[in-house]
Amino acid sequence: MFKNSEITEIGERPKRDEPAGRHTRARPAARIPSVRVVTYNIHTCVGVDRRYDPGRISTVLREIDADIACLQEVDARLRIERQADQWAYLGAATGCRVVTGSGVRQPRGRFGNAILTRFPVLAARSIDLTVTGYEPRGAIDADVLIGERVLRVIATHFGLHGAERRQQANRLMAALGDPIPANRREAHAVLLMGDLNEWRGRGGAIRSLDRRLGPSAAARTFPSWMPVLALDRIYADGRAILRDVSVYRSPLARLASDHLPLVGRLCWSPRELRDRERVRASRRRPRPRSNNWANI
């Protein structure tokens, strides 16, 4: 199921002594009350006006200013135009680390998913979601370090047929249930984002994901000029909760792709925060002095 050879991290990591802007430097754990996330099908950077323009996509991503972005339909096919490798271009344009995962290989190049993040990437692998008789599909499964916490981020793009999507959802759930390898740290939380292509609401593939991860917000993201279908989803599980899920509807976002970005805020659960404060409070309490003469 897992294929490590199709996963690559590209892009320079920002140096500590560089005058980095808000798009390049990861924040220390103590300063991370929440993490802004987005899933976005960029339609190979071809807008609704049929114009190829990666610059518009990078502008939308910078406007959203997410800490973690999961992208679908990223293209690195051979082109005459500049910015042929969209993974490299978008990583440089946003100042983020990029984890690539090719879902479809074609004679003219690669086509698939990407994760953009400001945080260090500990490990990444590919989950094969290809169903016989349909075009190749996959998911990126990456471990991201946020302060002292490990967040497991899964970026995926399901197929166009109902039976295909059900099998893909089942494979993802099986991967989440697999034992943690010895060379991998246990995740504090799981974040799953992508274009699930499920237009039937809570039916089909969504039902099995909802049972395992809890219901996702069904915000309409497709088509971008008049959204009527909730094809894009964000799920969170573990010691983190998802808040403030909304569709990003700027004029440029309506033009740059046929999908609108779906944005959310990932917060560590109140229980974990209470437990952490309780530990800190116990450390601040003065220790009782030993009464050396009591047993004389």
pLDDT of residue 5: 37
Q: Say whether pLDDT at 252 is over 50.
A: yes
The rounded distance, in Å, linking the Cα atoms of 199 and 132 is: 22
Read off the pTM: 0.80
The structural domains of the chain, ordered by start, are 33-284 (3.60.10.10)
Looking at 41-55, 58-72, 106-120, which range is the least confident one?
A: 106-120
pLDDT of residue 227: 95
Mean pLDDT rounded to a whole number for the chain: 81
Query: Helix/strand/coil (H, E, C) string of the chain?
Result: CEEHHHEEEECCCCCCCCCCCCCCCCCCHHHCCEEEEEEEECHHHECCCCCECHHHHHHHHHHHCCCEEEEEEEECCCCCCCCCCHHHHHHHHHCCEEEEEEEEEECCEEEEEEEEECCCEEEEEEEECCCCCCCCCEEEEEEEEECCEEEEEEEEECCCCHHHHHHHHHHHHHHHHCCCCCCCCCCCEEEEEEECCCCCCCCCHHHHHHHHHCCCCCCCCECCCCCCECCEEEEEEECEEEEEEEECCCHHHHHHCCCCCEEEEEEECHHHHHHHHHHHHHHHCCCCCCCCCCCC
Q: Say whether pLDDT at 169 is over 70.
A: yes
Summarised one tens digit per residue, pLDDT across range 64-91 is 999 999 999 998 765 555 557 899 999 9
Higher pLDDT, 258 or 78: 258
Q: Say whether pLDDT at 229 is over 50.
A: yes
Tokens of 12: 């320079």
Higher pLDDT, 244 or 76: 244
Higher pLDDT, 143 or 22: 143
Q: Say whether pLDDT at 213 is over 70.
A: yes
pLDDT of residue 168: 94
What's the length of the chain? 296
* pLDDT, average across residues 236-260: 95
Q: Say whether pLDDT at 290 is over 50.
A: no
pLDDT of residue 187: 92
pLDDT band with cut points at 50, 70 and 90 for residue 260: very high
The rounded distance, in Å, linking the Cα atoms of 125 and 143 is: 9
Summarised one tens digit per residue, pLDDT across range 173-211 is 999 888 888 878 889 999 999 999 988 766 778 888 888
* pLDDT, average across residues 16-20: 35
Looking at 104-108, 167-171, 278-282, which range is the least confident one?
A: 104-108
